[in-house]
Amino acid sequence: MRIHLTSVFVDDQAKAMRFYTEVLGFVVKHDVAMGEEARWLTVVSPENPEGTELLLEPSGHPAVKPYTTALVEDGIPAASFAVDDVAAEFERLRGLGVRFTQEPLKMGPVTTAVLDDTCGNLIQIMQGG
């Protein structure tokens, strides 16, 4: 068994697609209209295009807003992405205007940082482990 698909709820799929591709560097895997407003929109790592897909899922369900708001208020990331060098990625992303809620922090064998994805989520980047 392996993870094929996971998701984050986003408040604007077009904005999320721009952020996750143009800023974070993922590539679109699927972009299929699902009615007038929603899309089946997934991104993948360009390093592993057949790997795990991240669904940029519309946040329209009534349970989503309280859930994502609580996570953000408590500083809890919705997802975690591996990077080779957290400090370098932090500098690159900050140079692109990305807002971080946690600067690089070494915690034993891992280093993490947490960013705001502009679409309602905190995302952790990490190295090591």
d(CA 57, CA 11): 8
7 CA to centre of own chain: 9
pLDDT attached to residue 28: 98
Domain 1-60 has CATH 3.10.180.10: yes
Tell whether pTM > 0.75: yes
Mean pLDDT by 10 residues, the chain (129 residues): 96 97 98 91 97 96 96 97 98 98 96 97 94
The whole-number pLDDT of residue 35 equals 85
In CATH, the number for domain 68-129 is 3.10.180.10
Domain ranges of the chain: 1-60, 68-129
Q: Is 1-60's fold the same as 68-129's?
A: yes
33: which strand partners? 39
Q: How far is CA 103 from CA 22, 39, 92, 107, in A?
A: 21, 33, 13, 12
pLDDT at 36: 84
